[in-house]
Chains A and B, each alone.
Chain A
Amino acid sequence: MNEAKRNEVTSYLEERSTQYKGRIQALYLDDRTDEAIFAKVQMNVYDIFTTIFSAALKTAGEDDGEVVRLFLTKIQQIPQSWHTSLQKAQEHGDADKAHIEYIKLEIVAEIKTAFERIWEVMP
């Protein structure tokens, strides 16, 4: 079991969530309300995947390969509905919704890249 990699992923997700938490407050104080809402959405995505990673650790036990498989499966599955929502929002000219779905997907891509880098998984 690679404890260091497990900790690195957890730290990465938690740190990013904390960064966004601070950013939300700063954006509100700076009268950038829409961006504060977007930052909250982004923070939520990190929180979702923090929970998923923690669940993957529990389910997989000491099997690192299983941790990677479970996490990568979820990171493929979960955003599928976000892709659909983005498409629908674009079709209906709903700029707010479209942008929210877009940034959620952007964060997912960022998490996936970081995860693959930490676990040295070939994308």
Chain B
Amino acid sequence: MTETEAIRLFKCLSDKSRLQILKSLAIEDMYVELLAERLGLTPATISFHLKKLAEAGAVRSYKTQYYTMYSLCKDVFVSRILDIVCDASDEAAIQDKREAEYRKRVIDSFFEYGKLKSIPAQRKKERIILEEIARAFEPGRIYSEREINIIIADFHDDFCTIRRDMIGEKIMERENGNYWLVKTKREGR
């Protein structure tokens, strides 16, 4: 199910009358007048809702000798909501581009000739700065505290704060005076 289809379906379902129609059709196929009778709505209103449901792929119609019958498209409802949510976004590329542009702006304004001008006060920006500094470390390699300090000092004099914040942000991990980069989900992609 595409994002557009999912949005259309969810919008369509967020209406009590339409949900009642679907509940009725889950019992058996029905025609407009019968649904109108059951739900206490006018046939015109039922037709309106059925058209919306058909557009969202939730119901289908077929003709019999006397009536146009409506049935539930059960296959549409087999999709799990979690699967829809976890599906790659149609806008993923645009979102990634926006994020990359923002990161570049932050890096450009806080770094000058490879040196960090100041540590950002805003956590979101500091995280970007820390990630940028973390690129100086090799993934998988274990560093001593002294090695860490020397590398960070190339960027900024306050290496203690940066080192501590890298641990706090879970960019690095520490044990018995040894440090290493944490593998992020982003890197795992």
Please report A residues at the B interface, Cβ cutoff 8 Å.
30-35, 38, 95-96, 99, 102-103, 106
Q: Smallest CB–CB gap between A2 and chain B, Å?
A: 34
What is the minimal beta-carbon distance from B35 to any residue of chain A, in angstroms?
14
B51 part of interface (Cβ distance < 8 Å): yes
Contact flag A38-B45 (CB < 8 Å), given A95-B51, A95-B52: yes
Q: List the 6 closest pairs (A to B, CB-CB), nearest first.
A: A99-B48, A31-B16, A95-B51, A32-B16, A32-B17, A30-B16
Contact of B17 among A35, A96, A103, A106 (CB under 8 A): A35
Closest to B45 in A: A35
Q: B residues near A, CB below 8 A? A: 14-17, 41, 44-45, 47-49, 51-52, 55
Chain B interface mostly helix, strand, loop or mixed? helix
Pair A95/B48 contact, Cβ less than 8 Å:
yes
Contact check, B44 vs A102: say whether CB atoms are below 8 A apart. yes
CB of A34 within 8 A of CB of B16, answer no
Instruction: Check A31–B14 contact: CB distance below 8 A.
Output: yes
Considering the chains assembled together, what is the distance between the CA atoms of A102 and B44 in angstroms? 8
When distances are taken between beta carbons in the complex, the residues of chain A under 8 Å from B17 are: 32, 34-35
Closest B residue, CB atoms, query A38: B45
Task: For the complex, give the distance between the alpha carbons of A103 and B51 in Å.
Answer: 16
Is there contact, CB below 8 Å, between B44 and A106?
yes
Bound complex: CA A102 to CA B45 (Å): 10
26 CB-based A-B contacts, threshold 8 Å: A30-B16, A31-B14, A31-B15, A31-B16, A32-B15, A32-B16, A32-B17, A33-B14, A33-B15, A34-B17, A34-B48, A34-B49, A34-B52, A35-B17, A35-B45, A38-B45, A95-B48, A95-B55, A96-B48, A99-B44, A99-B45, A99-B47, A99-B48, A102-B44, A103-B44, A106-B44
The interface residues of chain B lying within 8 Å CB-to-CB of A32 are 15-17
In the bound complex, residues from chain A placing their C-beta under 8 Å from that of B51 are: 95
- The answer to whether A34 and B15 touch across the interface, beta carbons within 8 angstroms, is yes
Residue of B nearest to A102 (CB): B44
- The residue on B at minimum CB distance from A106 is B44
A residues near B16, Cβ cutoff 8 Å: 30-32
List the B side residues contacting A106 at CB < 8 Å: 44
Q: Give the distance to chain A from B97, nearest Cβ to Cβ, in Å.
A: 35
Report chain A residues within 8 Å CB of B15: 31-34
Expressed in whole angstroms, the minimum distance between the Cβ of B72 and any Cβ of chain A is 20
Minimum CB–CB distance from B12 to chain A (whole Å) comes to 10
Cβ contacts under 8 Å, A34 to chain B: 15, 17, 48-49, 52
